Amino acid sequence: MAFPQTRLRRLRTTGALRSLVRETELSPSRLVLPLFVEHGLDRRTPIGTMPGVDRLSIDHAVQEAGAAAALGIPAVLLFGIPAAKDEDGSGAWDDEGVVQLATRAIKAAHPDLLVVTDVCLCEYTSHGHCGRLRDDGSVDNDATLELLARAAVSQARAGADAVAPSDMMDGRVGALRADLDQEGFADLPIVAYSAKFASAFYGPFRDAADSTPAFGDRRGYQMDPANADEAVREALLDVDEGADMVMVKPALPYLDVIRAVKAATRVPVAAYNVSGEYAMIKAAAAAGCFDERAAVLEALTAIRRAGADIIITYHAKDAATWLQ
């Protein structure tokens, strides 16, 4: 039936009607707050490229996690900045490492808050790549799997509620699942960064985590931004290897990929609204280009509408406040 019998504006006339027929809901319960944790006491180090985001000593990370929980945010995602780095990134599996210590502290203070730990080596290696290097400088995929599994088991021992491998090595999910099961962590979920693209939008994160490669780039293991079908293959392989959730990263430039991955896998899908996406909105809002609140909520709603069940975002606390 066409106009004038059909008038779609009828359902837009009042706020109550618009709310009643809204197709996509955004709530704090769908958000995860990333935290950058470093050694020391009573330290908050501002990250210049990410206004409002700081590197946190563990005591401040506990406070920030508590503030997130009070707003109804159910989970934090931890990234560690170690005191020292080496060729293999051994700090990643140090039981007294910064992420392990932060996990214990946050779980002790906020036992109902979910702590998800990032599993990668780039923050811990002296060269900034995500795995063990061969003599020619390339990343040795298979030799790296053991190191990633050791890191995941160490984080599990510290009390992590889920581990999230972000390295993009082939076979890493299966390697983590096997070692976690063997060490008594068969019930610990794996949140796989399945479709992690080699993106320009990671720039501020690498500043925050001090993880810029000392040479070359990560295009040999992170995905080509042009490939959507390959992203679906990556996600399906991760599910086959034992991933409980899959992730698309970045989010806003890859809404089509989020939709395709959700349709293909039918498992919970997370999307990472990354540092560059955050910084763009912050910069545009500061310049008076648009209203920050409206832009953030529109962007996060778009990510949900595309099919993301979970959104990892630096906007989490602001968004949760605005959604109250």
Taking only the tens place, the pLDDT of each residue in 36-84 is 999 999 999 999 999 999 999 999 999 999 999 999 999 999 999 999 9
For residue range 157-174, list pLDDT tens digits in order.
Answer: 999 999 999 999 999 999
Residue 77: per-residue pLDDT: 98
For residue range 90-139, list pLDDT tens digits in order.
Answer: 999 999 999 999 999 999 999 999 999 999 999 999 888 888 999 998 89
Quick check: helix, strand or coil at residue 175?
A: helix
pTM: 0.95
Would you say residue 231 has pLDDT above 90? yes
How confident is the model over 26-43, as a mean pLDDT? Answer: 96
Residue 1: per-residue pLDDT: 85
**pLDDT grade for 281, boundaries at 50, 70 and 90:** very high
Percent over 90 (pLDDT), the chain: 89
Residue 216: per-residue pLDDT: 67
Would you say residue 215 has pLDDT above 80? no
How many angstroms separate the CA atoms of 36 and 54, rounded? 7
> For 268, phi and psi rounded to 5 degrees?
-55, 135
How many angstroms separate the CA atoms of 269 and 243, rounded? 11
**Angstrom distances, CA of residue 131 to CA of 134, 202, 235:** 10, 18, 21
Q: What are 297's two structure tokens?
A: 């909520």
Average pLDDT, the chain: 95
Domains assigned to the chain:
23-322 (3.20.20.70)
How confident is the model over 192-212, as a mean pLDDT? Answer: 88
Four-CA torsion 135, 138, 143, 144, nearest 10 degrees: 130
Q: Considering only 121-125, 249-253, 296-300, 307-311, which range has the smallest mean pLDDT?
A: 121-125
Residue 137: per-residue pLDDT: 87
Would you say residue 209 has pLDDT above 80? no
**pLDDT grade for 180, boundaries at 50, 70 and 90:** very high
DSSP string, 176-198: HHHHHHHTT-TT--BEEEEEEB-
How many angstroms separate the CA atoms of 205 and 197, rounded? 14
Residue 208: per-residue pLDDT: 77
Residue 163: per-residue pLDDT: 98
How confident is the model over 285-306, as a mean pLDDT? Answer: 98
Known catalytic residues are 196, 249
